[in-house]
Structure formats: structure tokens, C-alpha cells
Structure 1
Amino acid sequence: MTHYHLIVRLNYGNFIELRYESFVCRDFEAENILALRLRQVALLWVMNHCLNRFSKTAIFWLCAVILTIGLGFGRNSYAQNPNSPAKAPAKAVTTAPSPIEVRNSFAALARRLLPSVVGVRASNNNLRSNPKLFQNNEDLAATGSGFIVDNQGHIITNNHVVELGQTFQISLQNGTILSARLVGRDAETDIAVLKVTSPQPLTWVPFANSDAVNIGDWAIAIGSPFGLGNSFSLGVISGRNRDLQSGRFDNFLQTDAAINQGNSGGPLFNDLGQVIGVNTAIVSNQNGGGSLGIGFAVPSNVVRRISSDIIQYGYVRRGWVGFRARPASVNEGTGVVLTAIAANSPAARAGLRAGDRIYQARNLRITDPRQLARLIADTPQQTIVRIDAMRGNRRIFANVTVGLAPSSAASSPTGANPPVNAMGLVLRIPSPQEAARLGPSAKVIVASIDPFGAARGKLQPGDILLEIQGRVLADPAQARAFLAEAVQNRGTVIVKIKRGNDTYYDVLTARN
């Protein structure tokens, strides 16, 4: 660390001192930038205040002295790093940099935050019969992390941690194990909410505004990587608005804080101890393994909106208009181009057609499909949205009444057995009345179908799924696991369906 002061002496019996606050630098590049800045400021001061009082000769020698001082700064800096490669000239700094805040330790923050972070264990004894999914005949569906968000015991984690589970447990920092109830979950954003009842007060943490997070801000990940509870890792925000091609709502924060298996569902904090995201995914090498310094978190603003719906309704009330879109090409112009319109959807009723190019919605410029999807999804049902578009060379507009997404309409708070999303199907358990009427074989019922999904035209709401790849189904979570396995191994799935009094087989093909 080095402190700099600049003193300039004129050779006319006057003494002039330019004093600035000390600048603290942690590496040689920063030191040279500061040295350059001091030279520039001193030269400007002299030219502005001394040109009329002193001769050009005096000014010449003064400049020479200042440059010599500056070059000395540079030599001292590089002397501390003799093996460093030559650097391109630094861009001039337009304002004097502020002193850099240096933390000696995050220990106090860790002590405050760790009690709010929990380990999550999801179990499902119906999965024991599938050795390809789990080894040693275990009923463990998944383990991960979570964090407490209010004094009522609500815990946020990832959907992929709990989606196959039937029963859930959470572990607190002090070793206490509590049973948890699944309130609801959202496959689209990979967010789920559990709830526990504790005889003791629980420590909870607040959300930050993730829109205010900048690249370079501190990022702190806490969780249970590889089952090692209460693990604390530190990094920075490396990127924003990352698209992992995992869904239409991709909008991840990227961080280099160490995130590994078991961190899923855990919080990403800022240096104030506020949640800025939920750790969800990492980049690892092709053989698996641990963190490579590239991790991703669902932004807190998304998490807050999704979890609020789940806590209030048991599911996410997401707006829907019924179209699919792709980015417009350079030749087409700005915006997105509609590729498909669902029959009898709000978009169809408003007169939109495949091929229309949307460039504005709700008076906002549209630049990519994810932006438009998020805008529609966050719009309350029955809201009329004006959409401006081009149809060929003609400007058009449509007033679209936002509806409720089919997956949301089919969802309802069902305790430990919420609907499951798989291959464009929303699957649920039968109600007690349906179970009595349909018989013991009815374990999985189709609640709704994605109009653009693999089951389009083959299944319909109310169908009973009996088997997948010849395996009898016990519940929607098991159906989700079997579908995922079959798609990964083959790309196609043979399903046995009962519709009314008819039973038949059909083939579903996964769609990208």
C-alpha cells in the first residue's frame, strides 16, 4: 500500500503546495494511474494560475520537475512487480478516485448470517425401485440449501432440490432438525418455498434490490456444498442478465463465489447481509466436479415476486397471452418475431398472427423474447396490454387482455403434493372424490398441457397417466423423474394413458 502527496516548488522565491487526500492502492497498476492523475492535475493548476505571473522558462522547468516526480512514481510501482508485463497506457481518470474501503474480515457478518441458512433434505420412498436414479436403495431424492425469509418459518430453496421429494427436513446451524411442509414451487424459475414450525425464534434475512447490483459488488454464498453445512465463500458479481438457455425467464446473476453441489437453493448475499439471489447453477468441466468460479443465481427481485405468490396462493399467478417468439434478425429490424399463436388464446383473440414483429409493449421497447416473456408474466390477469408491431410494411397494434397461464390455472395449493411440470405437462394427484370414482390405478392426472409442448394433440386435461416406459406410476413426482430419465436416454417416451373407459399407448417426443 502506498500514499502519495505532490509538492511543487517554483524558483521565484514562492512556495506552492498542492495537497490531496491520501490515495491507497493495492496493486501497481492503480499506483501508476494515480501518479498520472496527479501529474495532470498539477499541470492544469500551474497553467491556470501561474502562466500570467511567471516566464515561459519557469513554466518549462516546473513541468520538467512534475514529470520527473511522476516518472519516479511509476518506477517505484514497477519495481514492486519486476516480472509484470508491460501495460498499455492507462485511460485518463476524469475524477479523483475515492479511497478504497478494505475489509479485514467478514467474520462478524458470517456470525450474523449463518443462523438464517439451512440444509434441506428431500426424501421419496417411491424412488427406491429405480437404481438408475439412486444408489444403495436409498429414499433420498435430493439435498441442498435454503434460507429463512420471515418470522413465520418460510424457507426459500430451489425447485430442483424438492421436486422429487415427498417428505422434507431442514437442519439449522445449531444442529436442530425440523420437519418441513412444501408450500409450493415454480419450475419456470426453479424456486420453491418450504415452511417449518419451530419452538424457538428463527433468524431470517431480508431481500435487497437486485436491479441495483453492479458487476464488481461483493457476493457471499452460504450453504451446504457436498453436505458440508455452514460453508461461507466470498467473491464478486461477475455478470448480469445471463441466459443459460434453461427457460424463457432466464435472467441470472453470475458470480465467482464458490458454489458447488449442495449449494443449490442457498442465498447469495451482498456485503450488507441482504439476499441478492438464490444460488442455482454452476459451470463445471465435462466430468462434473466442483466450482470453476462461474456460478449463477436467480435475482432477488424475481425470487421475492415468485415466493410471495407461492406463500399467498400456493402457486405462481403468471400472466399469459399465448404466443411464442424469437429475436428479430438484423434484416427484419428490432424486436421479436412471433413464431406461433395458441388457438383461442388472448393473443389469437386480439388478432396477432405468426410472423408479426413486436417492437413495443406497454410503451416499452422490446429487444428480446425473454424481456417480453417476463413483462407479460408479471402483468396481472385481466390487464389490457397494448402491443405495437409490424406486419410486413404496415404498423399495427393489438390490445391484448392478459390471462392466467394454463400451468397456473391448473395449479392449486395441495400441501405435500403440488402439481408437477414435465415435458409441457402439468401433473397432479387426484382429489379424494376423483380417487373414489376413478379407482386405485389413478395416481397421476393431467391437469393442463402446454399448447406448444410434446403432448400437444396427444393428451388432454383429465387423462390419467398409468405407466411411463412400462413402469407403473405412484405419484406425479415419480412421473417427472421417469419422464426426465427417458428423455435424457432416448429423446422419446412411451406412455400408457387412460381416457374415460379407453386405455391406449402413445409416444411423446421431446421438443427443444
Structure 2
Amino acid sequence: MDVPASSRAQSRRPSRFRAAASCLAVVTLLATSVPMVAQARSAPESFADLAEEVTGAVVNISASTTVEARNRTLPQLPPGTPFEDLFEEFFNRRGGQGNGGSDSAPQRQRRSNSLGSGFVIDSSGIVVTNNHVIGDANDISVIFPDGTRLKAEIIGKDSKVDLAVLKVKSDKPLKAVKFGNSDLLRPGDWVMAIGNPFGLGGSVTAGIISARGRNIESGPYDNYIQTDTAINKGNSGGPLFNMEGEVIGINTAILSPTGGSVGIGFAVPASTAVPIIEQLREFGETRRGWLGVRIQNVDDATAEALNLGSARGALIAGIDEKGPAKPAGLEVGDVIVKFDGREVKESRDLPRIVASSPVGKAVDVVIVRKSQQLTKQVTLGRLEDGEKQATLQAPSTETPTVTRQALGLNLSGINDELRRRYNLKDDLKGVVITRVDPNSAAADKRIQAGEVIVEVSQEPVSTPADVTKRIESLKSQGRKSALLLVANPQGEVRFVALSVE
């Protein structure tokens, strides 16, 4: 049984998207007629030849997990209760304990089963599927179209992109398929899927590419292919083919109110999957590049405040003290616009680009700092080694209490009383916000009392006078916005652009 895509992500918030087993709200789409392009390729007369060529490499995945079932204890009923015998018989029949039963009685085991799809990529017995198809299974079988069932071992798996690589042993070479270049796909291209919908066995469906680069908030590297090819419960882990019989995607999730296909399915692109599969085969684990920064998106107001010209890039909101970015000279407030020769159009592009870069590689990072474009060279670390590193916190000192108003905020210098009142981190430095006007732009941006302004337009502030002075300076320069670096009481920072007009 497939699981929701939202359960595979960091369950920080509910997702509208589910794995191929699940269901959610869907929007009705109205089709409109458009003129046919004269040079467009017509639909194939049949997909039969293509299906016959590749079906032998598509397999069903059966995964079983053995878990301990809790013993049930019969409620302590008073002697002579009319239903005492009935309860005793009911619980004993199910392996539970009656009154006076031993607490040390052995627990029963229960098996949980799931079905999905996969495909062979190497005739020696290498099989690819979704991580959520196998989960924590301790018994995995791969079932071939001719009915052959082979036990599988896990070579490696990756929950962030929902991939798993399995190995089976066969007496003969297996039919295998190869990956194609998913970057060449265009919306409207024909594709074909083969999988195990609803446990029926190998089924073929066809459709077109609906869109590329979809972000369904299932993980940090979302870059899905959207297709109207029918993807249903049990199709997860199966291949999405182009018309040359190459795998250009791995079917992973659908948007549906019923668990059945409504023409909105999502596949991991081959360009994303192949490097991960290669790492899992070689190392048994992923080895992603790591920059050691915390980023946020650049909106129009932030772009204006930073004099970027247009909203682009990834704004550095924090730097890991032990990460590769710090010794390379990257700073909070820098906007990364290009990484290793690849343009960073928005913040979500950067994690995907960095993660796909080799560990230990020296890369050029182009940044915009105070309206100047600079290039820094960074030697990438390994993400898996740095995931538990704490975010860098700014040093601090105490300042006297002085209160002022600016931008709809009441501001005070940090003192011991305010530090206790708002439970501020001991080393947090800046100007504390003691009140937010509910009708102000600051309230709309969710600034709250107890937060601390660390910088104004990339200049450190330690007193309310520093804040008002910087704002007046910005006004005199004809600037429309002030970029605040705001920390919560725990010291976690973010950038907020506020109008100074």
C-alpha cells in the first residue's frame, strides 16, 4: 500500500499532494480548443510495439514488515458480571490476556504488506523503485511479468527524493531499460507509464507531459514532471517512458480526490534520479554537496531594498559556523545569483543545484553584496555531515534601555528585564521590539513583540537610535524599503522588507 507524499516530507505542515495511493481535493479544468501547429507530431497509431519492448523490465514490488502486536488485557470486571465469560472468550480468542493472565506472555507478530512498482536498470539484477514503496520492510520480493518471484535486498535508499535501489539474484540476465535525458522533455510530449495499479499486475497507460519543474512541497528538492498519464494506487516506483523506450521519470505521486487518476500525476525526473541512483549503488548512501547556509526567497520588496533590480537569487539568512560558506567569505545578506555557472532564479533552485554537486568540488559562487556583484570560491562539504550543525548566532552585548517608535514598531535596547520577559537567548544582540502596531505593514509581515532587529539594510544596530538613523538615511537616498534582519528569541533570523514611505 502506497503512502501519502506528505508523510514522506518533513511533516512540518499538511501537503495537498499524496503518493499514488492517496486522495485530496482537485480542481476541475476546462479544455479550450487551440489551432494545431502544422509541424507538430501526430499521436502514435499504437503504443503496442513500445510496450512490448519494455514491459519485461517492469516489475511489481511486494514489501512486508513484521511488527509486534500488543497483547490486550481484559478489563478488570467484578466477579459475577453477566458478560464476564463473553469478554474472557473474546480476548483469549485474539491472543489477549484474561483476568489474572501473565504479563510476560509472548507478544504476537503482525505482518504489514504493501504493493508497488519498479523497473530493472541493469541485467545483473539492479531494480529501482520509490523509497515509500518499501518503507522499513524486512521482506521484499520482486515479481516479474512471467510470474517469477525473487527476494530482494536493499542496496540503498533516499527519503529526500523518494528513491530506493534493490538487488535481486537471477540465474539468467534480466531485461533492463535505460534512462533518457529528461531535460529534453517539453509539455505536450507523449509518454507511457507501466505499473501495478491496485495490485492488478502490469498495466500500460499513455498521455502527455503536462508541465515540468513542479514543486509539490514533498521535500527539499522538488522538481517533478507533471503528466496526465493515468497513475493510480500501486503505480508508485514505476517508470515513465518517452517514445524511444527510455525512462525519463519515476512515478511517485498524484493529486486526486479518490485515490484514482484524475490526470494529475508526478514523476521524479531522470536528471534528478540518476545521480542519486549512482551514489546509492556505489556507496549505499547519498553524498550530497553542502554549502552551509540558510536561505530565503527574494520578493519584490526585498529586491528593491537590496537594489537588485528584479526579484532573483537566494538571500543568505544564516551561515553555519562550521560550514564551507564561512571560510569562503560568504555573509548574511548576500544574494546568491549564480552557483557553479548555473543561474539561481529563485531560492528553491539553490538546494537542488548544491546537492547535485560533488562533495569536495571547488565552485564559483556569484553573489550580490551591497549592490556589488562579487565571486567567491567555495569548496563544498558533505550535506550528510553537516545536517546537525547549529545555525550561526550573532554575538551580543548588553545595552541600556531606550525606547523609540519606527515603522509601526516600539523599539528598546536589550536589558536584563527585557531578556527575561521575552526569554531572549543570552548572546542575542540588537534592538528588541516591544510592540507592533496591528495596522502596520510590520504586522502584515508577521513581525512580533519579543523579536529582535539585528540589522537594518545590512548594517548592524544595537540601539533604537541606530534603527531610526538608518531609516532616515534610506529616505534621504530615495529608497522605498528598508531590509530588516529580524531574529526570534531563540536567535533564528530572517529578512523582512518594510516600506519607509
Q: Please tell me the TM-score bracket, short chain as reference.
A: 0.5 to 0.7
Does residue 449 (structure 1) correspond to residue 388 (structure 2)? The answer is yes
Give the C-alpha shift of residue 383 in structure 1: 1.5
Contact 2:67 2:109 in 1 (8 A): no
Partner of 2:272: 302
Partner of 1:122: 63
Which structure has more helix as a fraction of its residues? 1
**What amino acid sits opposite 1:186 in the alignment?**
D
The one of 367, 371, 380 equivalent to 1:393 is 371
For residues 389 and 47 of structure 2, the distance between their equivalents in structure 1, rounded to whole angstroms, comes to 47
Partner of 2:193: 221
Contact 1:215 1:236 in 2 (8 A): yes
Partner of 2:330: 352
Among the aligned pairs, what percent are the same residue? 39
Contact 1:386 1:400 in 2 (8 A): yes
Does residue 108 (structure 1) correspond to residue 78 (structure 2)? The answer is no
**What amino acid sits opposite 1:449 in the alignment?**
K
Render the CA deviation track for 1:324-366: whole Å, top value 9, x for unaligned. 2122111313211112222211112223233221112223321
In the comparison of the two structures, how many residue pairs are matched? 318
Query: How does the TM-score come out when normalised to structure 2?
Result: 0.59
SS of residue matched to 2:245:
coil
Query: How does the TM-score come out when normalised to structure 1?
Result: 0.58
Render the CA deviation track for 1:118-139: whole Å, top value 9, x for unaligned. 11112221265599xxxx9752
Does residue 277 (structure 1) correspond to residue 249 (structure 2)? The answer is yes
Does residue 243 (structure 1) correspond to residue 215 (structure 2)? The answer is yes
Give the C-alpha shift of residue 371 in structure 1: 2.0
* 128 and 103 in structure 1: CA distance in 2 versus 1, 3 angstrom threshold: farther
The one of 117, 135, 139 equivalent to 1:167 is 139
Partner of 1:380: 358
Contact 2:315 2:336 in 1 (8 A): yes
Contact 1:406 1:450 in 2 (8 A): no
For residues 342 and 373 of structure 1, the distance between their equivalents in structure 2, rounded to whole angstroms, comes to 15
SS of residue matched to 1:369:
coil
Give the C-alpha shift of residue 202 in structure 1: 1.0
Give the C-alpha shift of residue 155 in structure 1: 0.3
Partner of 1:494: none
Does residue 232 (structure 1) correspond to residue 171 (structure 2)? The answer is no
For residues 450 and 118 of structure 1, the distance between their equivalents in structure 2, rounded to whole angstroms, comes to 40
**Higher Rg:** 1
Bigger Cα displacement from structure 2, 313-322 vs 102-111: 102-111
* 360 and 171 in structure 1: CA distance in 2 versus 1, 3 angstrom threshold: same
Render the CA deviation track for 1:22-62: whole Å, top value 9, x for unaligned. xxxxxxxxxxxxxxxxxxxxxxxxxxxxxxxxxxxxxxxxx
**What amino acid sits opposite 1:270 in the alignment?**
N
Partner of 1:335: 313
Within 5 Å, give how 1:366-445 maps onto structure 2: 366-406=344-384
For residues 218 and 366 of structure 2, the distance between their equivalents in structure 1, rounded to whole angstroms, comes to 28
Contact 2:320 2:389 in 1 (8 A): no
Partner of 1:484: none
Contact 1:193 1:310 in 2 (8 A): yes
Give the C-alpha shift of residue 450 in structure 1: 6.4
For residues 301 and 171 of structure 1, the distance between their equivalents in structure 2, rounded to whole angstroms, comes to 27
Partner of 1:324: 294
Give the C-alpha shift of residue 303 in structure 1: 1.5
Within 5 Å, give how 1:499-510 maps onto structure 2: none
**What amino acid sits opposite 1:146 in the alignment?**
G
For residues 290 and 112 of structure 1, the distance between their equivalents in structure 2, rounded to whole angstroms, comes to 27
Contact 1:121 1:140 in 2 (8 A): no
SS of residue matched to 1:355:
coil
Does residue 188 (structure 1) correspond to residue 188 (structure 2)? The answer is no
For residues 300 and 255 of structure 2, the distance between their equivalents in structure 1, rounded to whole angstroms, comes to 31
Contact 2:225 2:268 in 1 (8 A): yes
For residues 360 and 41 of structure 2, the distance between their equivalents in structure 1, rounded to whole angstroms, comes to 50
**What amino acid sits opposite 2:157 in the alignment?**
R
Contact 2:66 2:111 in 1 (8 A): yes
For residues 361 and 239 of structure 1, the distance between their equivalents in structure 2, rounded to whole angstroms, comes to 25
Give the C-alpha shift of residue 272 in structure 1: 1.8
Partner of 2:236: 264
Does residue 198 (structure 1) correspond to residue 166 (structure 2)? The answer is no
Contact 2:291 2:324 in 1 (8 A): yes
**What amino acid sits opposite 1:351 in the alignment?**
G
Partner of 1:464: none
Partner of 1:208: 180
The one of 306, 313, 317 equivalent to 2:283 is 313
SS of residue matched to 2:363:
strand
* 339 and 129 in structure 1: CA distance in 2 versus 1, 3 angstrom threshold: farther
Render the CA deviation track for 1:220-259: whole Å, top value 9, x for unaligned. 1111111111111111000001111122211110000110
SS of residue matched to 1:175:
coil
* 343 and 166 in structure 1: CA distance in 2 versus 1, 3 angstrom threshold: farther
- Higher RCO (CA 8 Å, separation ≥ 6 residues): 2
Contact 2:288 2:384 in 1 (8 A): no
